[in-house]
């Protein structure tokens, strides 16, 4: 129980810090007012590290931050990021901490899908059908910036996961260890048998 709360707290703090960097630090380094989508990278990374439920948790709160502070409608980005967290969490079974290509590829593909959904839901519904201009002026720069920003973000999340969360998970497993409940695989034979 303590582990699940600690995992949720670290995920929520990581999402909040990514939101702060995305909304306050990176706009000063933006290229034509485009910043990397760190919240989407955080959702994909935690879905890769912990599975679909953690990805959905991060996606909901990260999307809710975006909806509350930047959008007119509340819930649309939360729903999109929940789906991204779920779909990226399906790749958790292939998790290897030394594998960097799969989470980075998930981040770039998820960024492309989210940007295409934003184009359909916001631009096309308001009568802007210039997809070529949107793709070259908005999608490509944001995908490249998100790619470069997620390269140091993944090792940082992996460090937090291995140093703080998994250490307490191992400590909790040792607390639950019962030396009287040890089973002997050799059967009922004795030492000499």
Statement: the pTM of the whole predicted model exceeds 0.85: no
**pLDDT tens string 147-170:** 999 999 999 999 988 887 765 555
Compute the residue count for the chain.
193
pLDDT score for 30: 78
Percentage above 90 pLDDT, the chain:
47
Q: CA torsion sign, 24 to 122 to 82 to 137?
A: negative
**Domain assignment present for 184:** no
**Confidence bin at 89 (pLDDT 50/70/90):** very high
User: Does 193 reside within a domain?
Assistant: no
pLDDT for the residue 180: 56
CATH no. for residue 85?
A: 1.10.1760
Phi–psi pair at 85, nearest 5 degrees = -60, -40
Residue 6 lies in a domain: yes
Say what the pLDDT of residue 28 is: 87
d(CA 11, CA 29): 26
Q: Is residue 40 part of a domain?
A: yes
pLDDT of residue 110: 95
Distance from C-alpha of 95 to C-alpha of 116, rounded to nearest angstrom: 27
Angle at which helices 101-118 and 140-160 pack, to 10 degrees?
140
Q: Is residue 191 part of a domain?
A: no
pLDDT at 172: 53
What digits encode the pLDDT tens for the residues 102-153?
899 999 999 999 999 999 988 888 888 888 988 998 899 999 999 999 999 9
Q: How many domains does the chain have?
A: 1
Residue 177, domain member (yes or no): no
Q: 190 in a domain, yes or no?
A: no
Q: Does residue 186 register a pLDDT over 50?
A: no
Residue 139, domain extent: 2-169
User: Strand pairing partners for 31?
Assistant: 34
Rounded mean pLDDT of 38-55? 92
Residue 188 lies in a domain: no
C-alpha pair distances (Å), 140 with each of 181, 189, 191? 58, 68, 68
Model pLDDT, residue 129: 84
Is residue 178 pLDDT above 80, yes or no? no
pLDDT category at 77 given cuts 50, 70, 90 is: very high
């Amino acid at each position: 129980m303590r582990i699940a709360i600690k995992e949720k707290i670290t995920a929520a703090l990581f999402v909040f810090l990514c939101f702060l960097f995305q909304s306050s630090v990176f706009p000063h380094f933006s290229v034509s007012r485009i910043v990397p989508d760190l919240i989407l990278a955080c959702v994909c990374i935690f879905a890769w590290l912990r599975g679909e439920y953690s990805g959905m948790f991060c996606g909901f709160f990260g999307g809710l931050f975006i909806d509350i502070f930047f959008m007119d409608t509340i819930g649309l980005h939360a729903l999109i990021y929940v789906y991204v967290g779920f779909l990226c969490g399906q790749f958790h079974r292939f998790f290897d901490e030394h594998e960097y290509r799969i989470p980075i590829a998930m981040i770039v593909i998820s960024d492309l899908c989210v940007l295409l959904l934003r184009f359909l839901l916001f631009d096309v519904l308001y009568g802007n059908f210039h997809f070529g201009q949107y793709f070259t002026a908005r999608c490509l720069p944001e995908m490249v910036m998100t790619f470069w920003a997620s390269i140091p973000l993944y090792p940082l999340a992996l460090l937090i996961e291995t140093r703080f969360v998994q250490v307490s998970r191992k400590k909790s497993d040792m607390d639950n260890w019962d030396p009287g409940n040890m089973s002997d695989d050799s059967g009922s034979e004795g030492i000499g048998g």
